[in-house]
Chain A
Amino acid sequence: MALLEVEDLHTYYGNIHALKGISLTVEEGEIVTLIGTNGAGKTTTLNTISRLLTPRQGTVRLEGQDLSHVPAHRLVTMGIVQVPEGRRVFARLTVEENLRMGAFTIKDKAVIDEGIERGYTMFPRLKERSKQVSGTLSGGEQQMLAMARALMAKPRLLLLDEPSMGLAPTLVEFIFETITSIHAEGVSILLVEQNALQALAVASRGYVLQTGKVLMADTAAALAANEDVRRAYLGEI
């Protein structure tokens, strides 16, 4: 049974039909990427899975359990955590407080402190800034914080939305290395990226989305080799 199973998802913004029947799966231990142009429905898909948006039709199942009636704030305890687009750290909280927010559902103090230490080991930069209000961090540091915060809840499935957006090239490299090492610790990842080339390089499978539908689904290697994909999304003419 797949870890995440999305079936025929239809999501609307008012009258606008944003997702027109998206289906996808993420197996335990996989990195799966969603690529596509702006407005293809990548972020909407993630937000619908994490229940920030309510689908009008279709189901999301975690290990076979239907999530339709699970409130968004309960998903964390079930193992799904989202790193939203644009980082969205809590600007008025310090770095450490942001991490504690990530462990909001965990009551055990020792586990929380251990999680914070783990985050600092992964991103030493954050340790230096632990008492700093996170609104004053640079974009790269905020992305690190957003990822470390999401890991605090010990997710089984991480939903990553555009983690490399707006970052300097060296940092993009670093973020993708981090994604690989998070994956190596046994976390399954559903990754949304504009940067299709690098996303396909770390992922095992990918879905190409266009105007709210799945255009193609294949292994990452096959997608990266596909002529149409290369022309449309990898910037080759």
Chain B
Amino acid sequence: MTAVTAPPPTVAPIASARDLWLSVAIRTGLIAGATALYLCLTGIVPTFDSRPLIRDVITLGQVALVVAFMAAGLGTAIRLGTQASPGRTVLGGTVAGLIAGAMLSALVLLGSVVDLRAMFLHASPALWNVLTFEMGTSGFWVPAAVGAVLGGLAAAIWLLPGALRMSLLAGLAMVLVMGLFAGLLRAPMLSGPLSGLARQLFAAEGLQPIGALLSFAAGAILVPLFRPSRIRARAQRLSREQRRVTAVPLGGVLLLLVLLLPLGLGPFVAQVVALIALYVLMGLGLNITLGLAGLLDLGFVAFFAVGAYTVGLLTSTGEYGIAQWSFWAAVPVAVVIAMLFGVVLGLPLLGMRGDYLAIATLGFGEIIRILAGSDLLKPWLGGPRGITNIPKPLDVGPDSFLAGPNQIYYIALACAAVIAFVAWRLRASRLGRAWIAIREDEDVAEALGVNLVQTKILAYMLGAAFAGLGGAIFASLYGSVFPSSIQLLVSINVVAIIIVGGMGSIPGVVVGAIVLIGLPELFREFSEYRFLFYGAVLILMMRFRPEGLIPSRIGRQEMHHDAAEDDPLTATAAVEPS
């Protein structure tokens, strides 16, 4: 029909409102389907189909698909909000799930005709069986059906009253978390008086069904009770006086928890926790160079290497040890040498800014790594075989609580506390202001009397000192240093910790280290796939929370910059010249 007469203007919006739920559902379904395809073809689904989340009930591979389907339904419901009727919302969720599932069905159908393995290693009959519940390619319709059901279900959950919805989702999330960490929780419990309980709750891999039920209940009840917004609302009702009174014991409890943390851990987790503490230390150090002075130093690992090799050479009782000093005597030397390297490497970089600086420092990191492993320095540094037999700082018996990584944890923690204090004092000092000024605008800082050379070199020296300290502790944590332990990844990890945690924020560094160092270590059973997680976290963070998990005051204010400009009080026109 050609439009001879113009349709009434109200028709078009109504029509589009009627189609809204469908277009949202299709878009969300396509995104979820693409994600599910990705999960399948990268091998995540087939590989983790052998790892149960709940024994004999559901595997991790299936969970990945369930999450994708439910995300399709939830996503549709959230985007529709109140713009569609409940029936339409559930229908939309079903359609979204159906589309996501149908994309997998299409994959199975395609796979039954063409051998995709030339391109996708994991597009094998094993994958088809996972997707179709062992029905082979003839059950190609199964993913679409499962997707539709789960999508509709998820949308329906979203329509539930707030408290119920929160409980349900929190319970499901808790099952997922407990199932993922089951192995880590089970190992230390088995050796203690809780071994009976551990066997009840956890299977060899994943949860027992009863453990899953308990986890669900715990999540459903506890999370709504202790959710952050509720606690914050409570805290805001307190007076300033009351808040101060409660802050002291709360801080005390937190400190006690941090100090007692290694008590309940197995040796593996203790090592991970010590590593986290080490990265917290280095993150706080780089936070001064990057967060205050804005010098993006990707050669952090160079100073880390200097610290590690210095301590190795000075303390090792093995082949390449030259002095067999104690750790405590070697650390100050390592820090000073790292600082000297900081000055030497910093001088040629003075004229560089931003990205150029990052690339140049990157070069230094690589030079040091290659030198450490080179034949040239092999007689002194051991080449690729590295330096071994580096003793622990404290000479305690093998049965002592402080043997192994626990003492490193405390040492790293103490150093991190000192650095945090220094960083905090620096921020409010003349030097700290000069660093921020340089970062903001070098020319103006110079025009106001800041000596750029001196101030920048100081920042490099301090950053190098902390990196060297980190390297020194690293050497004694692992008892050895190899060229392969001074990878570029160390630098990148430290930078990522700061950015994910929140630039310039001290608690942010702690959280960043837990998320980016702790979690990948704890997920070792997922081998190389954990780096997918790492990458995904970085991308999602930068997209949805660029100011970091726990941003500093300034970071937060910057993110609210636009709001402030809209404020009529601060708008130019409102300024009264007086």
Contact = CB atoms under 8 A, between A and B. Distances in A.
B573 interface: yes
Given A84-B443, A90-B440, A101-B433, A138 B575 contact: yes
5 contacts: A90-B436, A104-B430, A138-B575, A140-B575, A168-B573
Given A52-B443, A138-B570, A153 B448 contact: yes
A102 interface: yes
B449 A104 contact: yes
Interface residues of B, number: 33
Interface in A81-113: 81-82, 84, 88, 90-93, 97, 100-102, 104-105
A93 B440 contact: yes
Given A90-B437, A136-B570, A50 B554 contact: no
B543 interface: no
A91 B564 CA distance: 13
Nearest to A91: B440
B577 A174 contact: yes
B447 A72 contact: yes
A138 B564 CA distance: 9
Nearest to A142: B572
Given A92-B554, A93-B433, A93-B437, A104 B450 contact: yes
B484 interface: no
B446 interface: yes
A73 B450 contact: yes
Given A76-B447, A101-B445, A92 B440 contact: yes
B449 A76 contact: yes
Contacts of B561: 135-136
B573 A102 contact: no
Nearest to B558: A135
Nearest to A50: B447
Q: What's the interface size class on A, roughly?
A: 35 or more
B572 A82 contact: no
Contacts of A91: 440, 558
A52 B446 CA distance: 8
Interface in B532-578: 554, 557-558, 560-561, 564-565, 570-573, 575-578
A77 B441 CA distance: 20
A125 interface: yes
Interface in B278-326: none
Given A90-B444, A173-B577, A136 B557 contact: yes
B558 A92 contact: yes
B16 interface: no
B458 interface: no
B446 A104 contact: no
A141 to B, nearest CB: 7
B100 to A, nearest CB: 43
